[in-house]
Amino acid sequence: MSQASGVYLSAHERAIHSRPKAPRGLSARMGAARPCSAGPYPRRTSLFHLCISQPSAMGHHHSTATGHIRHDSFIRTISPTHSFSSFSSKVVNETQLFHCLPLPRGSRDDIYELQSLRMVLVHNYLIRGYNTILYYAAEVPPSDTNRVNSFLRYCELINEAASEHHSLEEDTYFPWIESKISQGAMSINIESHRAYEDAFKTVVDTLASIRKGNRDFVPEELQAVIYSFMTPFLKHLEDEIKTLRADNICSIDREDWVQYEEKMEEMLKSRSNPDTTVQLMVINGDGNHGKW
């Protein structure tokens, strides 16, 4: 978090926020600040425009009546120049970024409260990742093959991180919890994975098609595909946290949790890519609340 402004900022966001001027190609037309949507879980709304000069212009960090934390919103506008009716029935005429999930109250030193806290941090890492895709899609010159390919590889890595995260949940995490509570206790989460599978596959296929040269890189088209995917994806990310509240899993013996955490740590190490995992976490992770 930026201590001066009191706003959640990842290393990526801090770096952009500190730029002396807007990046090349950024439209001069910037939308004014918009307030958060009502309720502790704002979803499809603009988070911020990533390049502004005054720290005080960033959204406020505050506690709500329910004890959650959220951001205010900003937006930048772009003018679409391509037709992409095959990707979306609605013309994307502004780059909208998405709120991170509010951080629930609790302590990471409490192994029961840790589960939802950590899951929010991981989910926010993924949300930030897709926010960077949406933002930088408009900043990558389609004619610059090297930059386009680098950007596409970054997009693929974010997709791989999302896929790996949910595979780990389905293969290990949820089955273990169900073995300690009751069969089917986590099935709602697995069902919600299925709800966005088709949209996620469209994102993956679109990136692959561009990489193979079967489709031109058109920023607005890629953004439209991401937006279609993010609607069911964000609902899943939000709903899953509710199933991992401490009061839902407190019947599991504490020592069992400790042993499972140790096993999970080793598993995560074995499944991580040293060339990309750390870098993606540094870029998109929560630099304050998630530094542990």
- What pLDDT sits at residue 37? 29
Q: How far is CA 71 from the centre of its chain?
A: 14
Comparing 216 with 78, the larger pLDDT belongs to 216
What tens digit of pLDDT does each residue of 255-289 get? Answer: 999 999 999 999 888 877 777 777 787 888 876 65
Burial of 3 (0-12, 13-18, 19+ CB in 10 A): exposed
Please tell me the pTM assigned to this model: 0.68
The answer to whether residue 209 scores a pLDDT higher than 80 is yes
- What pLDDT sits at residue 284? 84
- What pLDDT sits at residue 288? 62
- The total of structural domains in the chain comes to 1
Rounded to the nearest 5°, which phi and psi values hold at 30? -115, 135
- What pLDDT sits at residue 149? 95
Comparing 20 with 218, the larger pLDDT belongs to 218
Residue 290, in any domain of the structure: no
Q: Return all residues near 40 (Cβ < 8 A) that are at least 6 apart.
A: 64, 66, 68, 70, 102
Helices (H), 32-141: 111-137
- What pLDDT sits at residue 23? 33
Residue 5, in any domain of the structure: no
Residue 6, in any domain of the structure: no
Task: List the domain range (segments joined by +) for residue 208.
Answer: 11-284
What tens digit of pLDDT does each residue of 136-183 get? Answer: 999 999 999 999 999 999 999 999 999 999 999 999 999 999 999 988
Residue 2, in any domain of the structure: no
Q: What is the rounded distance in angstroms from the CA atom of residue 202 to the CA atom of residue 224?
A: 11
The answer to whether residue 126 scores a pLDDT higher than 50 is yes
Residue 1, in any domain of the structure: no
Beta strands in 2-58 (DSSP E): none
Reported confidence tier of residue 93, pLDDT bands at 50, 70, 90? low
The answer to whether residue 251 scores a pLDDT higher than 60 is yes
The answer to whether residue 190 scores a pLDDT higher than 50 is yes
Residue 139, in any domain of the structure: yes
- What pLDDT sits at residue 186? 94
State what percent of residues in the chain have pLDDT above 70: 66
Read off the tokens for 256: 């069992």
**Mean pLDDT for the chain?**
72
- What pLDDT sits at residue 215? 96
Residue 97, in any domain of the structure: yes
- What pLDDT sits at residue 10? 47
The answer to whether residue 217 scores a pLDDT higher than 90 is yes
Q: What is the rounded distance in angstroms from the CA atom of residue 263 to the CA atom of residue 164?
A: 17
Residue 182, in any domain of the structure: yes
The H or E element that residue 253 is part of is none
